[in-house]
Amino acid sequence: MNRQAPTLEDVAREAGVSRATVSRVVNGVRNVDPSIQDLVRSAIERTGYTPNRAARTLVTRRTGTVALIVSGAGDAFVGRVFADPFFGRVVNGAMGYLRARAMQPVLLFAESEPARKQVVDYVRQGSADGALVVSVRPDDPLPELLLAAHVPTVLFARPARKVPVSCVDLDHAAGGRLAGEHLLARGCRRIAAISAPLELRAGRERLAGFRDALTRAGHDTPPVAEGVFTLDSGATAMTTLLREHPDVDGVFAANDLMAQGACQVLREHGRRIPHDVAVVGFDDSSIAVTCRPPLTTVRQPVEDMAAAMARLLGEQVQGARTAEPHVLLFEPELVVRDSA
Amino acid sequence: MNRQAPTLEDVAREAGVSRATVSRVVNGVRNVDPSIQDLVRSAIERTGYTPNRAARTLVTRRTGTVALIVSGAGDAFVGRVFADPFFGRVVNGAMGYLRARAMQPVLLFAESEPARKQVVDYVRQGSADGALVVSVRPDDPLPELLLAAHVPTVLFARPARKVPVSCVDLDHAAGGRLAGEHLLARGCRRIAAISAPLELRAGRERLAGFRDALTRAGHDTPPVAEGVFTLDSGATAMTTLLREHPDVDGVFAANDLMAQGACQVLREHGRRIPHDVAVVGFDDSSIAVTCRPPLTTVRQPVEDMAAAMARLLGEQVQGARTAEPHVLLFEPELVVRDSA
DNA sequence: ATGAAAGCGCTAACAG
DNA sequence: CTGTTAGCGCTTTCAT
């Protein structure tokens, strides 16, 4: 900020009232004479007054902003985030809820050790009232750091270690089962999987559910190649799978981006989708629609989940300190398009 | 923030010194006896002290955070941002510079009218020291709002209206020329373009440069279909082009995402790339690499440009109020891969 | 219904 | 080199 901005004091002088009265008008407190309200309002207009956030925060201990932290690591982590529509849905879902309540969502990236430190400092020094975190690492220390700093926090997905913190999550096993059952119902018999990282609970559970569907139907455990949620890793996994099982006729990929990578490789190897090989993705992100062919996929209601996160956080910020952590579990749903 | 956090006062008492001394140690000011420094540091350790941002900001008039605002509008704007790696590069480039200087970058979205209002309030009330804005609308009112509020601001791309503000930009015409010349050199003779929105200066200039290359070589003005930077719009534009000019043998798309959409449509129409139709994209984002085939494209040094933005902003925040606006122009570069 | 006054936690002169 | 003292701009009792 720049040139000496007008303060409450200036407005008060201009309107011929006290600071307290101006403050009441600004904050919409009742018990102010309507005529004086007008007086003050026009004085605010004339002076171009804007409340100073720091001053207000200092006394109210509220900032009105919520940090939305995307946490992970590795090369080009930020690049990966901006290549997977999944994160856009999280941001959108959370923003919708927060905006309606006049809370400002700010997006932060904890993509490296120093970055994480800066981010933790940011919220811990009171620049945000709380944190919504979506982490793509199994061993992410961020939630515990936040908790230790007494920052109200809600997670997307249950953490690997048991931590007393609220979170929203999906019934991943049910999702994997949906995918497996659909491929079987289509008549696929030589089915493989491109899994998410198995150190991730979501990765393990999606795969477990998928396997469960197959074995329950009397099939062997399927071959699995592990990916890391990126298009590239999906392509690589599919290449491996194809080499070792050229006769594969059905593939379940643990997210849409990897499914797209798989589709690219399959086509390059002359396989028609879904005729020769059926492909099922996971997420139902915008990629599922733009992929060629459009993906049959397991829908994860990400926007709803993110909005729920924001709601949980709001309650935690306002409510009693002793609020029990909540875990909200959402149900996946199969969306059938062309790929399977 | 939560339970009564320890203050400077607490630390001072614990260490048996004055508040001022503790403040000096915390802020790394010299002129403090080493033994006392240790005393203070261990007191900080013991109490778990963290400086209160609001209090500090109130007196220093600095927040140590910079807003990175992505501005635009329309359905699913946030979704679009998270589907085009371009934005990830901007974020990455800016973050690199800021992090190294202990400034916290926070990402904000101005995706609707109310959102823009909230975002402007946020910076204007002093929650950030300045704003870096990347806008995808020709008529975006954000820059002017920010300027009117005396918020130090730097833009990605020159604004449509003439506004006295610093910005970084690309020589788009040179980029278009590069694309045109490459297609010609490959031997393409029936060349078309998928342009960016022509209300955007970047859209007009890329196209103008491209046309220039063709006409200079004695070719007619090429057919053009306009897109809006999305994969879908690229696919639609290609469909139109193919219908009206089935014999097209070269295509220039004004960004990689639209080039990818074009490739999908071309393949579905049985065209081999680059054999039947050569395709040149723009940006050199990660999509250029993951696209099938990998895209020949005009590289825009986005990370460097974003870092330069951050630098310009830094200078503006620190330096004299009267600093002249700077315009930094970057040069594009052709990157040849498989698509052309 | 309005005003006076006391801080919120911190930095920055200014003394010593 | 260290301590004292003013505020930064705002909200919020507490009187009136």
In which element (H, E) is residue A107 found? Answer: strand A104-110
User: From residue B225, how far is each of A195, B240, B287 by CA, in Å?
Assistant: 40, 7, 21
pLDDT at A224: 98
In which element (H, E) is residue A226 found? Answer: strand A224-226
Task: For residue A60, give the nucleotide whose C1' atom is nearest its CA.
Answer: D11
Q: What is the pLDDT along chain B (340 residues), one digit of tens a residue?
A: 345 789 999 999 999 999 999 999 999 887 888 999 999 999 999 999 999 999 999 999 999 999 999 999 988 899 999 999 999 999 999 999 999 999 999 999 999 999 999 999 999 999 999 999 999 988 899 999 999 999 999 999 999 888 999 999 999 999 999 999 999 999 999 999 999 999 999 999 999 999 999 999 999 999 999 999 999 999 999 999 999 999 999 999 999 999 999 999 999 999 999 999 999 999 999 999 999 999 999 999 999 999 999 999 999 998 755 678 999 999 999 999 999 9
Spatial distance between the Cα atoms of B118 and A218, rounded to a whole number of angstroms: 57
- Min Cα–Cα distance to chain A from B201, Å: 25
Rg of chain A taking only CA atoms, in angstroms? 25
Q: Residue A274, preceding bond cis, omega within 30 degrees?
A: yes
Per the CB < 8 Å rule, is A85 touching B88? Answer: no
Q: What predicted TM-score, i.e. pTM, was given to this entire model?
A: 0.94
Task: For residue A58, give the nucleotide whose C1' atom is nearest its CA.
Answer: C8
Whether A2 shows a pLDDT value over 60: the answer reads: no
Residue to test with chain B: of A82, A238, A257, most B Cβ within 10 A: A82
Which of A80, A109, A126 is closest, CB to CB, to B54? A126
Within 7 Å: CB of A13 and strand D?
A: no
Per the CB < 8 Å rule, is B58 touching A58? Answer: yes
* Rounded mean pLDDT, A60-84: 94
Per the CB < 8 Å rule, is A78 touching B99? Answer: no
Spatial distance between the Cα atoms of A71 and B139, rounded to a whole number of angstroms: 34
Residue lying closest to nucleotide D3, CA to C1': B18
Whether A266 shows a pLDDT value over 60: the answer reads: yes
Give which of A338, A189, A205 is closest to A259, Cα–Cα: A338
pLDDT tens figures, A183-218: 999 999 999 999 999 999 999 999 999 999 999 999
Per the CB < 8 Å rule, is A118 touching B104? Answer: yes
Tally the residues of chain B: 340
Strands (E) across chain B are located at 65-71, 104-110, 130-135, 153-156, 166-170, 191-195, 224-226, 250-253, 278-283, 296-299, 327-330, 333-335
- Min Cα–Cα distance to chain A from B138, Å: 23
User: From residue A154, how far is each of A135, A159, A164, A188 by CA, in Å?
Assistant: 11, 11, 10, 40
pLDDT at B95: 96
Instruction: List Cβ neighbours of A174 (8 Å cut-off, separation of 6 or more).
Output: A209, A331, A332
Question: What is the DSSP pairing of strand A327-330 with strand A166-170?
Answer: parallel
| B58 contacts on A by Cβ (under 8 Å) | 52, 54-55, 58
Are the C-beta atoms of A96 and A307 separated by less than 8 Å? yes
> What confidence category does residue A138 fall into, taking pLDDT thresholds of 50, 70 and 90?
confident
Average pLDDT taken over every residue of chain A: 94
pLDDT at B141: 94
User: How many CB pairs below 8 A link A and B?
Assistant: 176
DSSP B89-112: HHHHHHHHHHHHTT-EEEEEEE-S
Task: For residue B58, give the nucleotide whose C1' atom is nearest its CA.
Answer: D8
Within 7 Å: CB of A41 and strand C?
A: no
Spatial distance between the Cα atoms of B133 and B137, rounded to a whole number of angstroms: 12
- A87 burial (CB, 10 Å; 0-12 / 13-18 / 19+) is buried
Rounded to a whole number of angstroms, the distance between the first and last alpha carbons of chain B is 56
Residue lying closest to nucleotide C5, CA to C1': A20
Whether A58 shows a pLDDT value over 90: the answer reads: yes
Residue lying closest to nucleotide C7, CA to C1': A59
pLDDT at B1: 38
User: From residue A134, how far is each of A316, B261, B284 by CA, in Å?
Assistant: 18, 30, 28
Spatial distance between the Cα atoms of B281 and B230, rounded to a whole number of angstroms: 13
Residue lying closest to nucleotide C3, CA to C1': A18
> What confidence category does residue A5 fall into, taking pLDDT thresholds of 50, 70 and 90?
confident
Task: For residue B21, give the nucleotide whose C1' atom is nearest its CA.
Answer: D2
- Min Cα–Cα distance to chain B from A231, Å: 8
pLDDT at A320: 59
